[in-house]
Amino acid sequence: MKDAQPRTIYLKDYQAPDYWIDTTHLTFDLHEDYALVTSVLQMRLNGEKEFESGTLPALTLHGEELDLVSLHRDGEELEGDQYQLAKGTLIVSVKQPTFELQVVTRIRPQENTSLEGLYKSNGMFCTQCEAEGFRKITYYLDRPDVMSVFTTKVIASQARYPVLLANGNAIDKGELENDRHYVTWEDPFKKPSYLFALVAGDLECIEDRFTTMSGRDVTLKIFTESHNIHKCDHAMVSLKKSMRWDEEVYGREYDLDIFMIVAVDHFNMGAMENKGLNIFNSSCVLASPETATDATYQRIEAIVAHEYFHNWSGNRVTCRDWFQLSLKEGFTVFRDAEFSADMNSRGVKRIQDASLLRTAQFAEDAGPMAHPIRPESFIEISNFYTLTVYEKGCEVVRMIHTILGAGQFRKGTDLYFDRHDGEAATCEDFVKAMEDASGVDLTQFRHWYSQAGTPVMTVTDKYDAESGDYHLTIAQSCPATPGQEQKKPFHIPVGIALLDEQGQLLPLNAAGDKEQVLSIKQSEETFVVKGCKSKPLPSLLRNFSAPVRVRYDYSKDDLVFLMKHDTDSFNRWDACQRLGVAAIEQLVEQPQQAVDPQLVDAFGAVIADAAMDKAVKAEMLCLPSEASLAEQADVIQPLAIVAARKKVKQAIAVAHKDALQALYNELNHERVYKPEAADIAERTLKNVCLGYLSAVNEAECVQLAAKQYDDASNMTDRRAALGCVIDAHYRDEALVERLLTDFYDRYKGNSNVMDDWFAVQSSSAELGTVEKVKALMQHDSFDSTSPNKLRSLIGGFTRNMTHFHTAGGTGYEFLADRVIELDKQNPQVASRIMTPLTRWKKFEPVTSGLMKNALERIKAVHNLSTDVYEVVNKSL
């Protein structure tokens, strides 16, 4: 465990380091029960800092869970009185402004269950250093503003670890005694320690080449265990697309001779952008039509792109300190989102991103861990790899793009990359580059970086029939968040259009523009459109132009009208969602009422609309998720939400059964699987139809899903059908059992598919009881050291609104037990998996009390990790 008494770190306390590390030479001697790490550092006093004349400050290095073997300064071995080992640090006295420090440490990767630092996964050595994992490898200035040129020599058994990798280019290799061998890697680019990586294993690779825009030849390699080697092609195609896209859209070229990706099974998150050697969770690399769904294919494409794009937004220009995390993450998520939009359906990508933001990030922003995209303090930085920093951070960059326009935005990024190449920068540097390149004043816009919480935009309107003037008034406010009672008004770009009675867009100004982005800066502003022949209907926040909530009193007729006529895909979808939320909320309050017939008709019209883009149509037909309904409720009543949503789904299904069946039949044709946008849209829509049909209480409907399962030639169709059978209205338990067993037998050798087999059960309203989850934890295929398995089984259960929240609080007790147990093994996963409990204040009193009890039990545990300590203490 880290600090016994966790300490809060503040952005305002940032100070530049006393020393720089110009070069870092590392030698790893890897053995079966330990590893010896020799680090030779060329140190230099930071000449820009002022020190008391004639004195040199002591050097304080970070280090955790290390055995110090020896320490030399300029060749002289240091004795105990010349250095000091305190918790988490090594303090060395200094005699010269430049000197060489040699540190030898012994570590135990085999026993490292936190998956941070150097550890073993399936017999291979690998690393994860961001944010502060390098200090578990050797004593170092483990902070992102200390950038150094690294050389890494890896020595290991040739038989067990034929492949030895590190950052940069391989410059030497050779054989040693006792069947050992070595490879030396040199990375010519200065980098902070968090981008260091090493891999040693028995791996195979696929290889390809890429010629950069200036004609340089780059070798591309993707490594995995040999039995998965045929599943790397999609990742390779995605990598090449990303490299080309970054050249075309941002003018950014790759800079080393080789780019490598390694897939590992035990990984705390999706992937890591280590310089020239990305390490990926195998679930974000491996795909074949038989084992990966369309969603997995798209996720792989997006994550490969994200990590590749970090080479410029993160590696060449890195972060000064961890408070600036959104500088690289928000910007890189924006880059990958635009890439995915260009590769697939732009409208659908926007809907999916906005939906994730509104469901999960809005919840975070309204909860006890709310923080600005640039937090001002933290106890454990690992807790700040959040939806706020990533997804809201992306929206903040997108708003700059919207305010500046694409051309000026590109000038801004060019200036930012040129100005800060090779440096550790801040969010302020990014905004300043945008301002300097465009001449646009972003002073007020900066509040998005410092203020937490989701702004609420309340819109009212007034039409004067005599003058034809239409007044649209936009008021903004932002709820208090921990430590921030009062908020200043934000600069909000609001995309708008007005629809006339025929559904045509009206001109908004003398120039005849039919769409406009308003720059809202005051707490209240009114916008006037002249010459309207009748009261128009506003289409607000088009393309989700800002991460805010919009309140406008749309009638149901208005929403149906927008669903039909709005030209903005996001707003058409949003109208559908609003109608769905209203209908479901009504049933939550009055469960006996009939389902709103207007909603049933409106969904029927969408099903029947043959002209509508299939990808958008599939999104529109999805009712608001349980999680999104919970986020929008004042007080969450979990079981009432589940029941109301189910009732609405069944009503739509029963009313439109024939049309759904016809659409299903039309889309259900055999073809060779391709993960391409048009095919994905057809499969998605087909499976949405199947989802509705399985909500009809008839044997033939569940049989249809079973047939799709049996006939499926790809995982997308098989997995969708399995979900339908499991949760079908018409219960056929023998069939459920047959398919679950069949699925297990088919895929038991595939760890990533097995993750899904656990998740489909634990998240099921029909199957996922706490007893079932406990039983699955004992299953042979479950691995309690695998974050993927834990996220699937336990995480899946915490999203199961029916059983996690079952009366008596057994679900909460179960989760508290897992968090306490896991905290000793892997604090990052423990802290993340407890998030649902932190929302306890939003639930009805009885449920809320039970959730709080579970949190209090966690809080009472001694020696909690800083990760869990921070979350539990801020939540209570």
- Does residue number 321 form part of the binding site for ligand B3K (CB under 6 A)? no
Stretch that binds ligand B3K, among 267-275, 346-354, 366-374, 867-875 (CB under 6 A): 267-275
Nearer of residues 269 and 648 to ligand B3K, judged by Cβ: 269
130 binds ligand B3K (CB under 6 A): yes
Smallest gap from Cβ 422 to ligand B3K, in A, equals 19
Q: Judged by CB under 6 A, does residue 269 bind ligand B3K? A: yes
| Of residues 131 and 147, the one with the C-beta less far from ligand B3K | 131
127 DSSP β-pair partners: 118
From the list ligand B3K, Zn ion, none, which binds 130 (C-beta under 5 to 8 Å, kind-based)? Answer: ligand B3K
User: What gap in Å lies between CA 709 and CA 640, rounded to an integer?
Assistant: 31
> Is 570 in contact with 495 (CB distance < 8 Å)?
no
| Pairing mode of beta strands 277-281, 271-272 | antiparallel
Burial code (b: 16+ CB inside 10 Å, e: under 16) for 143-169 equals bbbbbbbbbbbbbbbeeebebbbbbbe
> Distance (Å, rounded) from C-alpha 490 to C-alpha 508?
24
Among 2, 135, 306, 358, binds ligand B3K (CB under 6 A): 306
Cα 168–chain centre separation: 27
Closest approach, Cβ 868 to ligand B3K, in A, equals 15
Give the DSSP letter of residue 136.
G
382 binds ligand B3K (CB under 6 A): yes
Of residues 238 and 332, the one with the C-beta less far from Zn ion = 332
Q: Which is nearer to ligand B3K, 147 or 736 (CB)?
A: 147
Pairing assessment for the beta strands 524-529 and 469-477 based on DSSP bridges: antiparallel
What is the token pair recorded at 219?
């070798």
* Active-site pick, 132, 307, 364, 619: 307
Count the neighbouring beta carbons within 10 Å of the beta carbon of residue 461. 20
The CB-of-270 to Zn ion minimum distance in angstroms stands at: 9
Residue from the set 265, 301, 307, 336 that interacts with ligand B3K by CB under 6 A: 307
Distances from the Cα of 37 to the Cαs of 27, 61, 71, 371, 833, in angstroms?
6, 15, 12, 38, 33
Structure tokens at 875: 């939540």
Backbone angles phi, psi at 221, to 5 degrees: -135, 140
- Closest contact distance (angstroms) between CB of 326 and ligand B3K is 11
- Taking the mean position of all CA atoms in its chain, how far away is CA 619? 20
Give the C-alpha separation, 319 to 392, whole Å: 18
Least separation in angstroms between residue 340's CB and ligand B3K is 15
Phi/psi at 819 (nearest 5 deg)?
A: -65, -45
Contact 729, 697 (CB under 8 A): yes
626 binds, among ligand B3K, Zn ion, none (CB under 5 to 8 A by kind): none
Among the candidate windows 302-310, 491-499, 621-629, 846-854, which touches ligand B3K by CB under 6 A?
302-310
In the complex, residue closest to ligand B3K by CB? 130
Closer residue to ligand B3K, CB minimum distance, 388 or 632: 388
- Asked if 115 interacts with ligand B3K (CB under 6 A), we say no
Q: Which residues of this protein are in contact with Zn ion, per CB under 5 A? A: 329, 332
Stretch that binds ligand B3K, among 246-254, 269-277, 677-685, 756-764 (CB under 6 A): 269-277
Least distance (Å) between residue 140 CB and ligand B3K = 17
Q: How far apart, in Å, are the Cα atoms of 753 and each of 264, 286, 718?
A: 15, 11, 12
Q: Which one of Zn ion, ligand B3K, none interacts with residue 131, CB within 5 to 8 A by kind?
A: ligand B3K
| Closer residue to Zn ion (CB): 329 or 870 | 329
Least Å from the CB of residue 146 to ligand B3K = 18
* Angstrom distances, CA of residue 480 to CA of 82, 852, 873: 50, 22, 19
Annotation says 307 is catalytic: yes
Please choose, out of 304-312, 529-537, 624-632, 811-819, the segment that lies near ligand B3K by the rule CB under 6 A: 304-312
> What single-letter DSSP state applies at residue 611?
T
Given the complex with ligand B3K, which of 102 and 167 has the nearer CB atom?
167
Report the distance separating Cα 249 and Cα 761, nearest Å. 43
Q: Does 682 bind ligand B3K (CB under 6 A)?
A: no
Helix (H) or strand (E) holding 846: helix 845-859
Q: Which stretch binds ligand B3K (CB under 6 A): 306-314, 339-347, 721-729, 760-768?
A: 306-314
Candidate ranges 62-70, 148-156, 268-276, 597-605; the one touching ligand B3K (CB under 6 A): 268-276
Residue pointed to by tokens 């320490």:
71
Structure-token pair, residue 91: 């303090």
Among 225, 246, 321, 329, the residue binding ligand B3K under the rule CB under 6 A is 329
- Nearest CB to ligand B3K, comparing residues 190 and 310: 310
DSSP class of residue 161? -
- Taking residue 214's Cβ as centre, other Cβ atoms within 10 Å add up to 7
In the structure encoding, which two tokens stand for residue 701, read together? 């409907």
* Contact status: 651 vs ligand B3K (CB under 6 A): no
Q: How far is the CB of 385 from ligand B3K (least distance, A)?
A: 5
Could you say which of 309, 322, 385, 490 contacts ligand B3K (CB under 6 A)?
385
Which does residue 353 bind out of ligand B3K, Zn ion, none, counting CB within 5 to 8 angstroms by kind? none
Among residues 145, 246, 273, 338, the one that binds ligand B3K under rule CB under 6 A: 273
- Compute the least distance from the CB of residue 873 to ligand B3K, in Å: 20
Largest CA distance in the chain: 95
CB 357, min distance to ligand B3K, A = 16
Tell me: does residue 854 bind ligand B3K (CB under 6 A). Answer: no
Binder of residue 687, out of ligand B3K, Zn ion, none (CB less than 5 to 8 A by kind): none
Q: Is residue 272 part of the contact set for ligand B3K (CB under 6 A)?
A: yes
- The dihedral region occupied by 541, where left means phi > 0, alpha psi between -120 and 50, and beta the remainder, is left
Question: Closer CB to ligand B3K, residue 304 or residue 588?
Answer: 304
CB burial of residue 589 (10 Å; 0-12, 13-18, 19+): exposed
Binding region for ligand B3K (CB under 6 A) out of 70-78, 81-89, 270-278, 544-552: 270-278
Q: How far is the CB of 362 from Zn ion (least distance, A)?
A: 21
> Could you say which of Zn ion, ligand B3K, none residue 136 binds, taking C-beta under 5 to 8 angstroms by partner kind?
none
CA distance linking residue 131 with residue 27, whole number of Å: 22
Identify what 382 binds: ligand B3K, Zn ion, none; CB under 5 to 8 Å per kind.
ligand B3K
Shortest Cβ distance from residue 193 to ligand B3K (Å)?
Answer: 13
What minimum distance in Å lies between the beta carbon of 131 and ligand B3K? 5
Among the listed residues 184, 243, 165, 162, the one whose alpha carbon sits nearest the alpha carbon of residue 208: 243
200 CB burial (10 A radius; 0-12, 13-18, 19+): buried
Closest to ligand B3K by CB, 129 vs 855, is 129
Within 13 Å and on the Cβ side, how many CA atoms surround 193? 30
- The C-alpha angle 35, 41, 47, rounded to 5 degrees, equals 150
The smaller minimum CB distance to ligand B3K, of residues 395 and 568, is found at: 395
Contact (CB, 8 A) for 856 and 864: no
Q: Tell me if 131 contacts ligand B3K by CB under 6 A.
A: yes
Pairing mode, strands 277-281 and 258-264: parallel
The option from ligand B3K, Zn ion, none interacting with 858 (CB < 5 to 8 A, set by class) reads none
Determine the Cα–Cα distance for residues 372 and 326; give it in Å rounded to an integer. 10
Which entry of Zn ion, ligand B3K, none binds 363, CB below 5 to 8 A by partner kind? none
How deeply is 463 buried, as exposed, middle or buried, from its count of CB atoms within 10 A (0-12, 13-18, 19+)?
A: middle
Sites of contact with ligand B3K (CB under 6 A): 130-131, 269, 271-273, 306-307, 310, 329, 382, 385
Q: Which residues are catalytic?
A: 307
